[in-house]
Amino acid sequence: MQRLIQSFTIGLASSVLSLYFSPTAYAGVSSEEKHIIRTQHKTYKSSMPDELSEAATIEEVLRYGALNSGALKSAFYAWKASFHDIQQSTAWDDPQFSYKTFIDEVQTRVGPQKEMFTVAQKVPFPGKRYTVGKAATAVSRQKFAEYEKARLNLFYEIKDAYFEYWFLYKNILVVEKNIELMKNFEKVAQSKYKSSLASNYDLLKAQVELGKLENELLTLHDYRSAIAARLNAVLNRDISKPIEWPETIGHEIESLELSQIIEAFHAHNPDLQQAHQRIQETKNHVLLARLDYLPDVTVAFDYINVDKGPLNVAGNGDDASALMFKVDVPLWLSKQRSQVKEAQANRTRAEALEEQLEVDLIAQVEMIYFNIKNAERQIKLYRDALVPKAEQSLKASETGYSGGNIDFLNLIDSERTLLQFQLAYYKAIRDYEQRLAQLEMIVGASLRGQSHE
């Protein structure tokens, strides 16, 4: 038994020595990534789906969507699964154990051989497991980029529907305010008609305009259920559940510079990061294909059980042991050459895709930036100039009509102008917020400073 232990120790030491010259697998996964995985997994397991409060802010709506979105949850667990792929791809092959019993005993000088035990371990050529680990880590980081993209897309869809819902609310308020205004005009026209200061045409015109506004209001109220259903669908919520009107959206015009946006885009865009990690993956595949020219080694230890023989010689009955090395011989080199060329072609393809992707996304960023700046100009124009002037013009027209200085058509025209400017102002705010949300989705980071109520 002592001989067995000594022999096994020698064999094991030799195997460990061989493993020592083969680098350990690439760790790859950062502590930050592991923390995100643990935290998010715990959140999914412990958090019950919250119900939106009646006065839910946009931040609360976004949180609800993040917890309940099936698409985002799927992307998260795809990323989590890729962590295990790294461990699997860099794991050692299972050692092999074999047992052989001799049907016809092999007679030797020191005794007959009864049985043989063999333990073997395949040892990849130094650098192979390290490179496999790096390639698998690059794949995992692509999955993380896909998760980030799913999160950003979800937030954009929520914001886009939320701001559309807010605009509908403001639209209804404006129309309701103009209905009240038109009712006052109708009373003035009716009073002037009874006093023979105006014709019946003014009264009829006021009633027609009032009817048009009331019909528009009904249409807007009917549209509410459709927009609410869209928002509920994005939130993975029952589409029939009511959603309270958003009183405020925290709108504030941001000071955005295109150069800073492009810089943030290069640092955070998940599509670009995914493309970059895809290139890293293909580069490691090229290296792996080249490493395939180099042989792997199998280290084996044999232990042979020997009985005592009839001869009285030294070592009679002593067990035997052997240490064996097997080397894979990459003889058919056409296979390796083909693997290298395939990997190089995939790397060139990934680099070309990244280059085209960057150009396309920057073009989108510049177009969205133009739309944001245009919406910003519209907001300032209507807020600071057109709406105040239209309100002044309407007051002057109302005073002029009451005094008989202008006709009813001019009064109606002033009212229509104010209505159009008010709606255009809120539409510009909606467009600004929607385009800013779209830009944040592409950039991959928030472009807002502190929110304002």
Digit-coded pLDDT (tens) for 259-301: 999 999 999 999 999 999 999 999 999 999 999 999 999 999 9
Residue 4 is predicted with a pLDDT of: 47
- 82, with CB counted inside 10 A (0-12, 13-18, 19+), is buried
Is the predicted pLDDT of residue 35 greater than 50, yes or no? yes
Q: Which of 390, 391, 404 is nearest to 189 (CA)?
A: 404
Is the predicted pLDDT of residue 233 greater than 70, yes or no? yes
Q: In what order do the strands lie in the sheet with 297-306?
A: 96-108, 111-123, 297-306, 320-327
Q: Whole-angstrom Cα distance, residue 431 to residue 446?
A: 17
Residue 9 is predicted with a pLDDT of: 46
Q: Which H/E stretch holds residue 302?
A: strand 297-306
pLDDT, average across residues 86-96: 88
Is the predicted pLDDT of residue 53 greater than 70, yes or no? yes
Q: Which of 228, 214, 117, 96 is nearest to 166 (CA)?
A: 228
Assess contact for 264 and 445: CB atoms under 8 A. Answer: yes
Q: Which CATH class is domain 49-91+124-294+330-443?
A: mainly alpha
The residue written with tokens 């002592």 in the block is 2
Distances (CA, A) of 418 to 123, 187, 269, 388: 81, 20, 42, 9
The residue written with tokens 């295109």 in the block is 258
Q: Which sequence spans correspond to the domains of the chain?
A: 49-91+124-294+330-443
Q: Fill in the DSSP letter of residue 210.
A: H
Question: By three-state DSSP, how is residue 265 classified?
Answer: helix
**Of the ranges 6-20, 147-161, 176-190, 365-379, which one carries the lowest mean pLDDT score?**
6-20
Q: Whole-angstrom Cα distance, residue 63 to residue 66?
A: 5
Mean of pLDDT over the chain: 85
pLDDT band at 148 (very low <50, low <70, confident <90, very high): very high
End-to-end CA distance of the chain: 83
| Structure token pair of residue 98 | 């074999």
Residue 2 is predicted with a pLDDT of: 47
Beta strands in 58-183 (DSSP E): 96-108, 111-123
Q: Whole-angstrom Cα distance, residue 119 to residue 111?
A: 23
CA-angle at 253, arms to 249 and 255, nearest 5°: 140
Digit-coded pLDDT (tens) for 309-361: 776 777 676 888 889 999 988 888 888 999 999 999 999 999 999 999 999 99
pLDDT, average across residues 387-406: 87
Q: Are strands 96-108 and 111-123 parallel, antiparallel or unpaired?
A: antiparallel
| Structure token pair of residue 390 | 């239209």
Assess contact for 111 and 316: CB atoms under 8 A. Answer: yes
pLDDT, average across residues 381-404: 90
Residue 91 is predicted with a pLDDT of: 87
Chain Cα centroid distance, residue 262: 19
Q: Whole-angstrom Cα distance, residue 358 to residue 350?
A: 12
Residue 174 is predicted with a pLDDT of: 94
Assess contact for 99 and 53: CB atoms under 8 A. Answer: no
Kindly tell me the sign of the dihedral angle through the C-alpha atoms of 266, 272, 274, 276: negative
